[in-house]
Amino acid sequence: MIELDGLTKRFGNKVAVDHLSCRVRPGMVTGFLGPNGAGKSTTMRMMLDLDNPTSGSVRIDGRHYRDLQEPLKHIGALLDAKSMHGGRSAYNNLLCLAQSNRIPTSRVSQVLDTVGLTAVAKKKSKGFSLGMGQRLGIAAALLGDPEILMFDEPVNGLDPEGIHWIRNLMKTLASEGRTIFVSSHLMSEMALTADHLIVIGQGKLLADTSMADFIHENSRSYVRMRSPEQERLRDLLHAEGIVAVESGNGTLEIDGEAPERLGELAGRHGIVLHELSAQRASLEEAFMQMTAGSVEYHAHSDRDGAEPPPVGPHWGEQWNQQQSGGAAGDRAKEV
C-alpha cells in the first residue's frame, strides 16, 4: 500500500506535482496515467525518496521511505532501463543490491532466471539491448520479493513478446496479493493490464477510479449512419425524436439507439444506407478528452489549427479534429 498525501513538488516556479493525494492498493494493478510531462516520473521518484517533496508526504506500508530498514523487501522499482552501471555484469549489478539489503545471494540467480537473463548474467550490462536492460531492471525490482512493485513505463522499447511478458508478469504479481503501480502514457496499454486507474495531468489528480468504471463512464457507444439521401434521413430521425449529430463527410452519429432499430426505420421509409455501424469510442479518446486541458506539450497540426481541442465538447466534434493513431473509431472519410 502506498499513500500519497497532498504531495507537491515545485521546480522553481513550475509546479510538477500539485497536491496529489491517492492510495495505491494491494492485490491489483494500478495504472498511473498521464500525458508526457504530467509529473508521473517525479511522483514516482518522490515515492522512492529520490526527490524531496516541496510539501506533502508519501507513506509506504505506513512508513516514510527513509525509515524502511530493508526497502527492497517492501518495494521494488523499475525507474528506467539505464539505472545500472554498464561496466558491471548483470550478476554483479544485482549482487551488490542484494548484499545491501541482506537478501540471500541465491536470489540473484533466481530473478535472473525469472526474467530470462541467465545466459547473459556474466555479460556487461552496457551491451544489453533496451529490452534486456528493461528485464534487468525488472530483475532488480523483483530481487527482494517485495510486496509493492513500481514500474515506470515498463513497455517502452520492448518488442511484442516482451510487452506480452511484462503484462502477464504484472498480472501474476498482482494476483499474489502484491501492490503493482505502473505508469504509462498509453491508455491502450493500461486498458489491457490495469485494474485501477490514477490519471494525472499537469501534476493534478484527474481521476482515481476503477478501470471498469472508467470504461463504463468514458467509452461512449453510438451508431454511425451514412446515406446518399442524408436530408431525408435527418428529417426522418428528427420526426422520430432521435437526435443525430452531423459529423462531417456525410455521416450521422446517433447516441442511445440500437442499430437494429435505426436500420429498420430507414428500411421502412426506403432510405438507402451506405453505412450503418455500431461504434465504440476508444479509451484512448476518453483519456485524451480527459487530459486535453492539461497536456504539457502540444503538437500543433497545420490542418486543424493550432489550438488544442477544448475540454468537454461533444464527442463527435473531437472525433474528426483529433487524429489519434490506432484508435478504434475508424474513419470512413475517403468515399
Partner 1 sequence: MTMPPQAHPAAQPPQQQGWNGAPGPYASPIPVRTPGLGDAIASEWTKIRSVRSTMWTLGVMIVLLIGVGLLTAFAVSVSDAPMDETPVLSLGFFGVLLGSICVITLGVLTIASEYGTGMIRTTLTACPSRARILFAKSIVFFLLAFTITTVTTGIVGVLQTAMLDGATPDTGFWVRSTVGIGLYVATLGLLSLALGAIIRHSAGAITIMIALVLLPLVLAMFMFSPTLARVQQALFEYSIPNQLGAMYDVSVTASGPTGWEPLFIILGVTAVAMGGALLSLDRRDV
16 binds partner 1 (CB under 8 A): no
Among 5, 51, 229, 257, binds partner 1 (CB under 8 A): 51
135 binds partner 1 (CB under 8 A): no
The stretch near partner 1 (CB under 8 A) out of 141-149, 245-253, 271-279, 313-321 is: 141-149
- Least distance to partner 1, CB of residue 21, Å: 16
Alpha-helical regions (H) of 86-206: 90-100, 106-114, 130-142, 160-175, 187-193
7 binds partner 1 (CB under 8 A): no
Contact 222, 237 (CB under 8 A): no
176 binds partner 1 (CB under 8 A): yes
Q: Beginning with the edge strand found earlier in the chain, give each strand of the sheet holding 2-11 in spatial order.
A: 14-24, 2-11, 55-60
The stretch near partner 1 (CB under 8 A) out of 47-55, 275-283, 284-292, 307-315 is: 47-55
68 binds partner 1 (CB under 8 A): yes
C-alpha cell at 79: 525507474
3-class DSSP assignment, residue 271: coil
28 binds partner 1 (CB under 8 A): yes
Alpha-helical regions (H) of the chain: 40-47, 71-74, 90-100, 106-114, 130-142, 160-175, 187-193, 211-218, 230-239, 259-268, 283-291, 315-321
- Angle made by CA atoms 327, 331, 333, in degrees to the nearest 5: 155
Of residues 92 and 219, the one with the C-beta less far from partner 1: 92
- Least distance to partner 1, CB of residue 144, Å: 7
For residues 25 and 2, what is the distance between their CA atoms, to the nearest angstrom?
7
String of contacts with partner 1 for each residue 232-251, x by CB under 8 A? --------------------
Among 18, 147, 189, 285, binds partner 1 (CB under 8 A): 147
Contacts of 149 (CB under 8 A, 6+ apart): 75, 76, 77, 141, 142, 170, 173, 178, 179, 180, 181
Among 48, 130, 186, 276, binds partner 1 (CB under 8 A): 48
Point out which residues bind partner 1 (CB under 8 A): 1, 25-28, 45, 48-52, 61-62, 65-66, 68-73, 75, 77, 79-80, 82-89, 92-93, 95-97, 99-104, 107, 110, 113-114, 140, 144-147, 169, 172-173, 175-179
